[in-house]
C-alpha cells in the first residue's frame, strides 16, 4: 500500500515537472507581449507579401541572406549525393501471400 502511494506521488511529481516545462515561455518569446505583434490582414499571409523561400510571416529569420539559403541547398544536395534515399519503386516487393502464420500459444488454453 505504501509503495503504491509512493509510486503515485512520484508519478504526480513527474507529471507536474513535465507540465511546468510545457508551459514555460521560450527564449524567443521572453519579454514579448501581444502588443508587440503588428496587426496583420489576411492578404499579408499570401505568397506575394511573404519573403521567398520562407513560411514565416514574422521576423524570426530576417537576418538570413539569399546566399546562405543557396549554400544550404547546395549542402543538402551534396549530402543526398553521398547518401541517396532509395526510390520506393526500385525496392524489391516482399510477397507475403505464401507466408505461414506463426503458431501461437492459445490465449485461453483448453483444460
Residue 29 has a pLDDT of 85
Cell 515537472 found at: 17
Residue 96 has a pLDDT of 75
Number of domains in the chain: 1
Residue at 62 is within a domain: yes
The whole domain housing 73 covers: 39-84
Decide if 57 contacts 50 (C-beta within 8 A).
yes
pTM: 0.31
Residue at 59 is within a domain: yes
Residue at 74 is within a domain: yes
Cell 506575394 found at: 48
Phi/psi of residue 13, nearest 5 degrees: -65, -40
From first to last of its 111 residues, the chain has per-residue pLDDT tens of: 888 999 999 999 999 999 999 999 888 888 888 888 788 888 887 777 776 665 565 667 778 888 998 999 999 999 989 888 777 777 777 777 777 777 777 767 666
Amino acid at each position: 500500500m505504501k509503495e503504491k502511494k509512493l509510486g503515485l506521488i512520484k508519478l504526480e511529481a513527474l507529471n507536474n515537472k513535465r507540465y511546468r516545462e510545457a508551459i514555460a515561455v521560450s527564449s524567443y518569446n521572453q519579454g514579448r507581449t501581444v502588443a508587440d505583434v503588428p496587426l496583420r490582414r489576411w492578404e499579408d499571409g499570401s505568397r506575394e507579401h511573404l519573403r521567398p523561400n520562407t513560411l514565416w510571416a514574422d521576423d524570426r529569420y530576417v537576418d538570413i541572406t539569399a546566399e546562405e539559403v543557396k549554400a544550404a541547398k547546395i549542402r543538402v544536395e551534396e549530402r543526398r549525393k553521398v547518401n541517396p534515399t532509395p526510390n520506393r519503386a526500385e525496392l524489391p516487393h516482399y510477397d507475403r501471400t505464401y507466408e505461414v502464420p506463426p503458431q501461437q500459444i492459445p490465449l485461453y488454453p483448453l483444460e
